[in-house]
Chains A and B, each alone.
Chain A
Amino acid sequence: MTPTSKSFKDIHETELTKFDMRAAVLRGTSTVDARRKTACTELDTDDPSGYQAMRTRAASIKDAVLADLPSYLEEFANNAEAAGATIHFAADAADARASIQNIIRSKGAKVIVKSKSMVSEEIDLNAALELDGYRVIETDLGEFILQLEHEHPSHIVLPAVHKPKVEVERMFNKLYDSPIGASADQLAQTARRVIRQDFLDAEVGISGGNFLVADTGSIVIVENEGNARLTTSLPKCHIAIVGIEKIIPSIDDLPLFLNLLSRSATGQRSTVFVSTITGPKTSDEPDGPDEMHIVLVDNRRSTILADEKLRPILRCIRCAACVNTCPVYQQIGGHAYGWVYSGPIGAILDPVLLGLENAYHLPYASSLCGACTEVCPVKIPIDDILVEHRKRAVTASLTGSLEAMAMASFATVMVNHNLYEAATRLAAVMPSSNGRTSRLPLPVITDWQSSRDLPAIKGPRFRDVWKQRLAAAGANHGA
């Protein structure tokens, strides 16, 4: 999808007027957030294996991988190839698309089934494949719904969370004669029926991957619908597209990460399906693909890796806990962010993947409440990184000279006693009535007063009160 993050200011205002969408987002994310909380608090004991200790352990395992990423990737690639998979390294989106297009062309494929993959959104894969004339079918229920409407996911785990259920009911009614008022289960059944033949026809299945296990060369996929398992096992050829940061050192680390991922993502103790795939079908196995390709995508991840302040972003396991708990995301939804990754993870990741000049509004779309940082299972200091991006936006003069001047004056006043005295006295000239500051056509004041009152700025300041009576009272009090 073409990024529109640069127009965040306009887009988010439009999104705020979509009340049905906002209600669906708030309901969906709050429900999952509450489930996450229950599932994580259940582990929140003081003993060394408790939830907080798990987060610390997961963060340090990820950091160890990132400190030596090339050798872990090499270990993974060697082991995966030993198991019969073919590895492709893709430096950027174009590279990744080309690798995948080449593989598909060599298969003479016509129909391609896909399970959920955010990296495929990141590299705009579907559009490229459709242009080549292939039929590409999204098999995850949420993605399937969005594909019917030519929409993009608004959430990294719950792609269609912005869609009110009645809209889906109506659409399925029109297309597949499914009843109005169909339950979520019934809708899923309908989608399954529609997709079944495609699974059988497809020559190629494309999936993402939640983890790359270095010491076994396996990719691990977690899901609840079973469509990823079919995508990776029915077609003759399986292509997995995975970001290079998804490495974990050992299969022994997997239980920790699975536990954190499923609880943080959906509040489940475990997802319904966990597929650990090590190479294609072997001669003594009855089913599975004949060929397995793993496309390891960099696409600016090594830029993040080389940047000490931003590096923790690569710990991310895409659980979306930060998204679900974010009070800003809950109001504006994911499309407002203008690209694939939204919410707090999007606000720290997109500025690197798209270039800061194209996404610098996103890090400002936060009250810095810290809810995201508190829930991140791999302890990414999200709010600190938001501030780091803001600092870089200022350094790159993206935020305007007016703001820079205002901030410089602010500092000058705050470090100069006489100026501070004068400025705080002067503030009292603002007109007021009934104890509230009158409506004023001044930059910051107008924005505040658009929806909120401002108390009157008049009468003595605290420092005057202190001098007039409190200091003396203290002297008596102390005597």
Chain B
Amino acid sequence: MSIFKPRVHLFITCVADRLGVHAAESTVNLLRLYGCDVHFSDLQSCCGQPAYNAGHHDAAKQVARYWLATYDKLLTDANDIIVTPSGSCGAMLHHYKDLLADEPDQIAVYDRVVPRVRELTQFLIDDLAVTESFVDLGGVTVAYHDSCHAMRNLGVYEQPRNLLKLSGASLVEWDSSCCGFGGLFSVKLPQISTAMLDRKLDSVTDALSADFLTSTDLGCLLQLDGGLQRRSTRIKTVHIAELLDPANRVHTK
């Protein structure tokens, strides 16, 4: 790990702000444990993904411009980094380039800001090159779920697995398909979304089981947890930051 203290601006995302407070808090704790100087601006809101995915691009553009302006002001040093605990929201930012393609001023901001965005585990492994863990998850079995957007759009695959292995957790193999969340998809076509969810959950509850089910994305976790709560199972759904943060409630229960 480098000796200088990286300055990290959080993009916590609207979902975590409201529905993933523990995940967000653990993100802060974890970044601090790994020596980062963590900042949070309460001017932030959402990445605009719901509107973008649904095809409402005028609405998405408004949110995109707001996001770019907010973070452009925050980045005052060439080494400043933006970290988000949600790969899908991080991936959404990359769509701004197409979305705002007719607005050269916005593209200029995009080029300054978006290349500095990292998904949390990506930042820890790829930028900080961490080699130690602050928790001992020896004897704990974890089913890791790949968020499609984190995996396919950001290349997040080994990083979360490496962090879990550093902590001593054993990873279980399970169905690797999409969880069926897809934002508005989950409520526009709830029956398909649920069929996809059931396929995944069947594979982990029936065959293997696990102590925890985790991911880098709160959207996926909302879906997976929502389904697990309707089944009788001991599996707990937590964000990966919560698992890796020694101060989190999951370690005290």
A interface residues, Cβ below 8 angstroms from B: 9, 12-13, 16, 26, 327-328, 330-332, 364-371, 373-374, 384, 387, 389-394, 399, 403-404, 407-408, 410-415, 417, 420, 424, 427, 436, 444, 447-448, 450-455, 457, 459-463, 465-467, 470-471, 473-474, 477-478
* Total B residues in contact with A, Cβ cutoff 8 Å: 66
Q: Which residues of A contact B25 (CB under 8 A)?
A: 462, 465, 470
- Extra contacts, 18 of them, besides A407-B54, A474-B32 (Cβ < 8 A), are A16-B192, A26-B199, A327-B177, A328-B196, A367-B148, A367-B196, A403-B56, A404-B56, A415-B63, A447-B187, A451-B194, A451-B226, A451-B227, A453-B230, A459-B21, A462-B20, A467-B42, A470-B28
Output the nearest chain A residue to B149 by Cβ-Cβ distance. Answer: A370
A338 to B185, CA, bound (A): 19
- Quick check: A452 and B226 within 8 Å, CB to CB? yes
The 9 sampled A-B contact pairs (Cβ below 8 Å) are A327-B196, A369-B152, A408-B59, A411-B48, A414-B46, A417-B43, A420-B14, A466-B42, A474-B32
A393 to B54, CA, bound (A): 10
Shortest CB-to-CB span from A446 to chain B, Å, is: 9
Residue B71 at the chain A interface, CB threshold 8 Å:
no
Contact of B38 among A368, A389, A391, A474 (CB under 8 A): A474
Query: Which of A9, A369, A455 gathers the greatest number of chain B CB atoms within 10 Å?
Result: A369
- Quick check: B199 and A414 within 8 Å, CB to CB? no
B residues 19-55 near A (Cβ < 8 Å) are 19-21, 24-25, 28, 32, 37-38, 40, 42-43, 45-46, 48, 50-55
Residue B190 at the chain A interface, CB threshold 8 Å:
yes
Contact of A394 among B56, B181, B185 (CB under 8 A): B56
- Quick check: B55 and A367 within 8 Å, CB to CB? no
Output the nearest chain A residue to B181 by Cβ-Cβ distance. Answer: A367
- Quick check: B52 and A387 within 8 Å, CB to CB? yes
- Quick check: B21 and A450 within 8 Å, CB to CB? no
Whether A12 contacts B189 in the complex (CB less than 8 A), given A367-B182, A390-B53, A478-B37, comes out as yes
Contact of B54 among A12, A394, A452, A455 (CB under 8 A): A394
A365 to B191, CA, bound (A): 11
Shortest CB-to-CB span from B22 to chain A, Å, is: 9
Residue B12 at the chain A interface, CB threshold 8 Å:
yes
Contact of A327 among B51, B54, B178 (CB under 8 A): B178
Q: Which residues of B contact A330 (CB under 8 A)?
A: 177, 199
Residue B248 at the chain A interface, CB threshold 8 Å:
no
Contact of B195 among A331, A366, A463 (CB under 8 A): A331
B residues 132-172 near A (Cβ < 8 Å) are 148-149, 152-153
- Quick check: B66 and A16 within 8 Å, CB to CB? no
Whether A369 contacts B182 in the complex (CB less than 8 A), given A391-B57, A459-B21, comes out as yes
Q: Which residues of B contact A477 (CB under 8 A)?
A: 32
- Quick check: B190 and A448 within 8 Å, CB to CB? yes
Output the nearest chain A residue to B57 by Cβ-Cβ distance. Answer: A391
- Quick check: A12 and B193 within 8 Å, CB to CB? no
Residue B106 at the chain A interface, CB threshold 8 Å:
no
Contact of A12 among B43, B51, B98, B192 (CB under 8 A): B192
Q: Which residues of B contact A9 (CB under 8 A)?
A: 189
Q: Which residues of B contact A463 (CB under 8 A)?
A: 17, 40, 42
Task: List the count of A-B residue pairs having beta carbons below 8 Å apart.
Answer: 196
Q: Which residues of A contact B148 (CB under 8 A)?
A: 367-371
- Quick check: A461 and B56 within 8 Å, CB to CB? no
A459 to B21, CA, bound (A): 9
Query: Which of B98, B148, B225 gathers the greatest number of chain A CB atoms within 10 Å?
Result: B148
- Quick check: B225 and A367 within 8 Å, CB to CB? no
- Top 5 closest pairs, chain A to chain B, by CB: A367-B182, A452-B226, A390-B55, A411-B59, A369-B148
Q: Which residues of B contact A457 (CB under 8 A)?
A: 18-19
A337 to B191, CA, bound (A): 15
- Quick check: B190 and A374 within 8 Å, CB to CB? no
- Quick check: B195 and A16 within 8 Å, CB to CB? yes
Q: Which residues of A contact B243 (CB under 8 A)?
A: none
- Quick check: A453 and B153 within 8 Å, CB to CB? no
Shortest CB-to-CB span from A412 to chain B, Å, is: 8
A403 to B187, CA, bound (A): 13
Output the nearest chain B residue to A421 by Cβ-Cβ distance. Answer: B42
Residue B180 at the chain A interface, CB threshold 8 Å:
yes
Whether A407 contacts B230 in the complex (CB less than 8 A), given A448-B187, A461-B21, comes out as no
Query: Which of A374, A389, A447 gathers the greatest number of chain B CB atoms within 10 Å?
Result: A447
- Quick check: A12 and B45 within 8 Å, CB to CB? no
Q: Which residues of B contact A393 (CB under 8 A)?
A: 55
Residue B205 at the chain A interface, CB threshold 8 Å:
no
Q: Which residues of B contact A436 (CB under 8 A)?
A: 229
A370 to B146, CA, bound (A): 12
A365 to B188, CA, bound (A): 9
Query: Which of B19, B53, B54, B98 gathers the greatest number of chain A CB atoms within 10 Å?
Result: B54
Shortest CB-to-CB span from B148 to chain A, Å, is: 4
Shortest CB-to-CB span from B185 to chain A, Å, is: 5
Output the nearest chain B residue to A467 by Cβ-Cβ distance. Answer: B42
A436 to B16, CA, bound (A): 16
Shortest CB-to-CB span from B251 to chain A, Å, is: 18
Residue B197 at the chain A interface, CB threshold 8 Å:
yes
Q: Which residues of B contact A455 (CB under 8 A)?
A: 19, 222, 225
- Quick check: A411 and B62 within 8 Å, CB to CB? yes
Output the nearest chain B residue to A449 by Cβ-Cβ distance. Answer: B226
Q: Which residues of B contact A471 (CB under 8 A)?
A: 40
Shortest CB-to-CB span from A35 to chain B, Å, is: 16
- Quick check: A452 and B223 within 8 Å, CB to CB? yes
A452 to B191, CA, bound (A): 11
